[in-house]
Amino acid sequence: MYLGALRRLRRWVGLALLAGTAAGGVAAAGPAPGALVVGFDRDFPPYEYLDDNGRPAGFDIELMREVAAAAGIGVAFQPGHGPDLVTALEAGRVQALAGVFHFARLERPLAFGASFPEVEFAILTRAGTPEISSPDGMAGKDVLVASGDAVDEWLQARALPFRSTAVGSPTEVLRLLAAGGGGCAMMARAEAAFLMGRLKIANLTVSRSPIFLRPYGFAVKAGDAALLARLDRGLAEVKASGGFDRLHRKWFALLEPQRGTLTWIFRHGVLFVAPLLVLLLAVFAWSRMLTRKVEEHTRRLREELAERARVEEALRESERRFRSLAEVVPFGILIVQNDTTVYANREAAQILGAAAEEITGSSAWPFVHADFLELVKARAMGRLAGETGLPDRYEVKIVTRAGAERWIEMAVTLTNLGGRQATVMAITDVDDRRRARDVEAAIYETSRAAGASENLQELFASLHRTVARLMPATNFYIALYDAASDLMSFPYFVDEVDDRPEPLKPGRGLTGYVLRTGEPLLATVEAIAELERRGELESLGAPSVDWLGVPLKVGGATVGVLAVQSYTGTVRYSDADRQILSYVSIQAAQAIERRRAEDDLRESQRQLSTLMSNLPGMAYRCANDADWTMEFVSEGCVALTGYQPGDLVGNRITSYAEVIVPADRDAVRQAVDEALAARRPFELSYRIRTAAGHQRWVLERGRGVWSDAGELVALEGFIADLTERKNLEDELRQAQKIEAVGRLAGGIAHDFNNLLTAVLGSTELLQRRLAGDEGAQDELATIHRSALRAAEFTKGLLAFARRQVLDPVHLDLNAFVSEAVPMLRHLIPENIRINVHPAAETDVVQADRGQLTQVLMNLCVNARDAMPGGGAITIETGNALMDAAFVAAHVGAREGRYVCLRVADTGVGIAEENLPRIFEPFFTTKETGKGTGLGLSTVYGIVKQHEGFILAASEPGRGSTFTVYLPAAAGRDLPSAPVSQTAVRGGNEAILVVEDEPEVRKVLVEALTGLGYEVYQAADGLAALEMLRRGLAVGLVLTDVVMPHMGGMELCEAARAAAPDLRFLFSSGYAEDTVHVGFIKKEGIFFLAKPYGIDALARKVREALDTPSAAPPAP
């Protein structure tokens, strides 16, 4: 009984499948060797366009899919626009066009396939206006058309009595016409109806009669006859199966709203397969009941035996027909009952990769991929339980007996078998179709990721995910090649065995092979061994079972490699994988190059922005008008001018011309105009006034920007602050001027000191000779006082010239000021207060106490003279640390620790124009006879000789402040109290006097002779050396330092070469330079500064003779 029921079921299922095949027009899909890249217009609905999700859609798209499937070709779509698609086809970037109008000019580059129905073009008018049914009706109207479409080309080829206006796109044409623009419009009738529905435009009317028709169909590159023939055959099959009419009615229902026709019924007949199966199964049940009745009647009526035999033979014939039909249908049939497969046809066995006998009688689920097993089981159980809303058709992944993963489409319905429910499944292998669809999706996903990724790493990760959806990609990497460095880097590397390699030169590894050849490579273990044997490869990294790499190409050049690899035999790659990865690599290379270009541009913009923000000045672009209207200014304008960029751009707050000091504007304008007239850059310095009212010097460098037509477009340049440089140049010039005057003053002082030495010595000698002549003594005393006053004057000159011999000791400025204040009170009147504010603790300085006292006295006297009506003098001390910025702004300053002495007054102040000149010698603003102009010059010279510097600040009417900075000395050891001078005494030792000035030499010889010494004399160093070499024995040589022929230092060196213990006493109007002072200290020489009296001479001579030769002399 069960076998008989199965025979009946097979009979009815076979009939149902036969009917379904006839109704649905199912065609066998041959294996596709590779996806055909088809170009289509992204904006020509409903024929072909990108939908809201960026997917290809439209009549042409779906038709091309079915045509390709019928021709056994996988297909992928590439969007484009207008003439660009023809160019892409000619360049080989696409192999076919989904739809194109047949124009004579395209017959040379294209080969057209069998035409679709001609496209009708109609006239659109606004509702309420007369309908236009012919070109004559458009006379005098402004006709709107989409730029570059078939209407535009049709109009350009004809002389018509109206004017056409090309608008960007069909959507813009409809919106413009609906809003009242233009007189009418022309476009494809179906396109207009589709877009009006999508845009919800209801106030436009489409002409009932077409204006013209244009042949339309797919095309391939001229000469590709084989591909065109395959597509034409596929189209013929689709038309024969009714697929063309089905798609045409689906997409052009607005123009052909036909329902209920025989063709429509036949096209939708496949939808009734499942209900028909149920109906047939019901008939089968009825037949079973009928058979029982026949059997009962047979037992009762033997005469019916012959009829029963005939019926059984008919059933056997029906079963034979079922098996014949089931074994030839182009899809698999499985019948499952109680989770067991009770029937599988030949096609099902082939799809599952197993014999039908293996499948029948076994579990129904081992072939379902683990990712889909729960889904398939749940839907099967739900269908058996009567659950509604479950899909009748869906795609799942299976695993064949050999372990290969494939996609199938499964159509499911229920039947009754042997009184129990059973599931009938029709399965179709859609792996090639699915792969083509996945490749198409991958290409679009890669293109989308290029714009959506924040950086290259995100893009690389997205590419990895995309490839992993197409094939196993656990081990995946991207290598990029830099031609400049000839290095190959691995910015993205995911591998379960190897670590990311460091950048390396593309040697003879697999990646280097693809880079070198520019060709894809599927490297199996055998292929790798063969390439290594031929010397084209060398083993690098862990060996893989399969390695698949494809080049990343941009503009024909290989810029990298995209690779996947497998270390196990269960994951293998095929030529189909190689082809798929090659398709993906084309889009990936473009995406990577675009992302790299965008990153490089962003980095360039960031660097430019950083550069602009940190430049010490203002970059600009402006018009060459009267205001120099700024179009762009950098952030540096804030520091330079005090204005924000937005204040200057467009002259919103002020124009740059107004920022320039009025006195300089004409000169600036003239210099710029002259440079522009000569077509050369300009460089000029001038003054500006900042937003705060301060005046600054600036240096501007700029040039004109010219158009291709030779017209001046703008000015571009950079403006830097020149104020500090100008101030430094002024300070340097002032220092050079003071230095020059100082050299002159020093020379004068030197000669004057020689004269004063003779005057003082001669006067003292006369005073001793004329001790009893009171009248002569008075006159001599007057001469002596005048000479001493002149000596003080020369000391000032030497201090200013920094040629005064110093006696440096460690000084604590707090103690020094405290000791000096009582003396200062004798110089300062009672109506001026002296305020002292010492720091809690100051560093020690190395200074000449007498010279520093001179500095403090001069500054206080200068302050006193600035306050004739009284006021206050404030003396402060403190420590200071000078950094590089401070040093850069002050000529003569050096980095390090300093101790400062500040003297401030509340006097009349110094005029701004006089402040730069206050340290010049003989410069004074006092009345004639009230100052020599050497006070501040002397201070300046003393401070500079101590390697310090002085700053002056003043505000007229409020007072002045002078700050002296002296270098801090190492340690804080202070000198012991000075030793009191002993009484003057002479001696009887022999002394050689060497002096080139006769008057001075005469006084020295007479004075020393008067003290009891045996004196010899020479006019220069050469004469003295000759006397010593002849055997003159002396205990001391008293010599001038600067003399003709041979100076004191040369004499000392030459004489001590023969007599190392010979004592020397140097005498000079000034120390010529620091070398003299150093030489004096180093060689153990005593020194006596001119001018001096006989008492000072006697003490220094006695000191030089009495001091042990090993003891260091006092300076």
Reduced to 3 states, what is the DSSP secondary structure of residue 632? strand
pLDDT per residue as tens digits for the range 520-560: 999 888 888 888 888 787 765 557 788 999 999 988 889 99
> Where residue 199 sits, what CATH number does that domain have?
3.40.190.10
Q: Out of 409, 429, 449, pick the residue that ends a domain.
A: 429
Is residue 187 assigned to a domain? Answer: yes
Instruction: Give the separation between CA 810 and CA 821, rounded to whole angstroms.
Output: 19
> Where residue 899 sits, what CATH number does that domain have?
3.30.565.10
Give me the residue label for tokens 């200013």. 800
Is residue 262 assigned to a domain? Answer: no
Domain that holds residue 701: 615-721
Q: Based on the domain organization, do 109 and 129 belong to the same domain? A: no
More confidently predicted of 292 and 997: 997
Strands (E), 567-652: 617-622, 630-633
**Closest listed residue to residue 1089, CA positions, set 807, 858, 808:** 807
Q: Based on the domain organization, do 587 and 507 belong to the same domain? A: yes
Relative to beta strand 204-206, strand 630-633 is: unpaired
**Is the alpha carbon torsion for 928, 934, 935, 936 positive or negative?**
positive
Domain count, the chain: 8
pLDDT per residue as tens digits for the range 1071-1112: 444 335 556 656 668 888 778 788 888 888 998 898 876 444
In the prediction, which pLDDT does 13 show? Answer: 39
Is residue 844 scored above 80 in pLDDT? yes
> Where residue 537 sits, what CATH number does that domain have?
3.30.450.40
Question: What's the mean pLDDT in 976-1000?
Answer: 74
> Where residue 697 sits, what CATH number does that domain have?
3.30.450.20
Of 1-5, 678-682, 979-983, which has the strongest mean pLDDT? 678-682
719: buried, middle or exposed (CB in 10 Å: 19+, 13-18, 0-12)? buried
Task: Give the CA radius of gyration of the chain.
Answer: 56
In the prediction, which pLDDT does 264 show? Answer: 35
Give the sheet arrangement for strand 712-721, strand by strand.
Answer: 630-633, 617-622, 712-721, 695-706, 682-689
**Closest listed residue to residue 555, CA positions, set 592, 604, 581, 505:** 592
Which one-letter DSSP state was computed for residue 354? S
Is residue 310 assigned to a domain? Answer: no
Is residue 1024 scored above 70 in pLDDT? yes
| Tokens found for residue 59 | 């009549």
Is residue 23 assigned to a domain? Answer: no
| Tokens found for residue 78 | 């590439």
Instruction: Assess contact for 141 and 162: CB atoms under 8 A.
Output: yes
DSSP states of 1022-1059: HHHHHHHHTT---SEEEEESS-SSS-HHHHHHHHHHH-
Instruction: Give the separation between CA 35 and CA 292, rounded to whole angstroms.
Output: 57
Is residue 402 scored above 80 in pLDDT? yes
Q: Based on the domain organization, do 1039 and 1053 belong to the same domain? A: yes
Is residue 533 assigned to a domain? Answer: yes
| Contact partners, residue 227, CB within 8 Å, separation at least 6 | 36, 95, 96, 220
Number of H helices, E strands in the chain: 34, 41
pLDDT per residue as tens digits for the range 367-397: 999 999 999 999 988 888 888 888 889 899 9
Mean pLDDT of the chain: 80
In the prediction, which pLDDT does 928 show? Answer: 43
827: buried, middle or exposed (CB in 10 Å: 19+, 13-18, 0-12)? exposed
In percent, how much of the chain has pLDDT > 70? 80
More confidently predicted of 937 and 373: 373
Give the sheet arrangement for strand 871-882, strand by strand.
Answer: 832-837, 871-882, 896-905, 959-967, 949-955
Question: What stretch of H or E contains 845?
Answer: strand 844-848
Question: What's the mean pLDDT in 134-142?
Answer: 82
In the prediction, which pLDDT does 872 show? Answer: 94
Is residue 585 assigned to a domain? Answer: yes
Q: In the chain, what's the furthest Cα-to-Cα distance?
A: 197
Is residue 211 scored above 80 in pLDDT? yes
Within a 10 A sphere around the Cβ of 721, how many other Cβ atoms?
Answer: 19
Instruction: Give the separation between CA 47 and CA 248, rounded to whole angstroms.
Output: 10
pLDDT per residue as tens digits for the range 628-681: 999 999 888 898 999 999 999 999 999 999 999 999 999 999 999 999 999 999
Instruction: Assess contact for 965 and 947: CB atoms under 8 A.
Output: no
| Tokens found for residue 160 | 């018509």
Band (pLDDT 50/70/90 cuts) for residue 25 is: very low
Is residue 311 assigned to a domain? Answer: no
| Tokens found for residue 1100 | 């220094």
Within a 10 A sphere around the Cβ of 708, how many other Cβ atoms?
Answer: 5
pLDDT per residue as tens digits for the range 678-716: 999 999 999 999 999 888 999 999 999 999 898 999 999
- Determine the distance from the C-alpha atom of residue 118 to the mean position of all C-alpha atoms in its chain, rounded to a whole number: 55
Instruction: Give the separation between CA 710 and CA 223, rounded to whole angstroms.
Output: 49
Band (pLDDT 50/70/90 cuts) for residue 23 is: very low
In the prediction, which pLDDT does 561 show? Answer: 94
pLDDT per residue as tens digits for the range 414-443: 988 777 889 999 999 888 888 778 777 777
Q: In sequence order, what are the beta bridge partners of 400?
A: none
In the prediction, which pLDDT does 43 show? Answer: 86
Q: Based on the domain organization, do 534 and 439 belong to the same domain? A: yes
Which one-letter DSSP state was computed for residue 968? B
Cα dist. 837→900, 901, 904, 1074 in Å? 12, 10, 11, 35
Instruction: Give the separation between CA 216 and CA 672, rounded to whole angstroms.
Output: 64
Q: Based on the domain organization, do 787 and 752 belong to the same domain? A: yes
3-state secondary structure 277-343: HHHHHHHHHHHHHHHHHHHHHHHHCHHHHHHHHHHHHHHHHHHHHHHHHHCCCCCEEEEEECCEEEE
Q: Based on the domain organization, do 1005 and 1069 belong to the same domain? A: yes
Band (pLDDT 50/70/90 cuts) for residue 257 is: very low
Is residue 518 scored above 80 in pLDDT? yes
Give me the residue label for tokens 């959806």. 469
Is residue 866 assigned to a domain? Answer: yes
Relative to beta strand 557-566, strand 475-482 is: antiparallel
Q: Based on the domain organization, do 768 and 823 belong to the same domain? A: no
Band (pLDDT 50/70/90 cuts) for residue 491 is: very high
| Tokens found for residue 576 | 């189909």
Is residue 273 scored above 60 in pLDDT? no
Q: Out of 800, 818, 833, pick the residue that ends a domain.
A: 800
Q: Based on the domain organization, do 662 and 644 belong to the same domain? A: yes
Instruction: Give the separation between CA 900 and CA 968, rounded to whole angstroms.
Output: 9
**Is the alpha carbon torsion for 520, 523, 527, 530 positive or negative?**
positive
**Is the alpha carbon torsion for 490, 496, 498, 499 positive or negative?**
positive
Q: Based on the domain organization, do 498 and 562 belong to the same domain? A: yes
Cα dist. 816→400, 967, 970 in Å? 105, 16, 18
Instruction: Give the separation between CA 597 and CA 588, rounded to whole angstroms.
Output: 14
> Where residue 995 sits, what CATH number does that domain have?
3.40.50.2300
In the prediction, which pLDDT does 519 show? Answer: 92
Is residue 464 scored above 80 in pLDDT? yes
Is residue 15 scored above 50 in pLDDT? no
Q: Based on the domain organization, do 453 and 345 belong to the same domain? A: no
pLDDT per residue as tens digits for the range 560-618: 999 999 888 778 888 888 888 888 888 888 888 887 777 777 777 777 767 766 677 89
* pTM for the whole structure: 0.37
Q: Out of 721, 736, 770, pick the residue that ends a domain.
A: 721
Q: Based on the domain organization, do 923 and 827 belong to the same domain? A: yes
Q: Based on the domain organization, do 854 and 874 belong to the same domain? A: yes
Q: Tell me the residue type at 864.
A: R
The lowest-confidence range among 432-436, 650-654, 998-1002, 1031-1035 is: 432-436
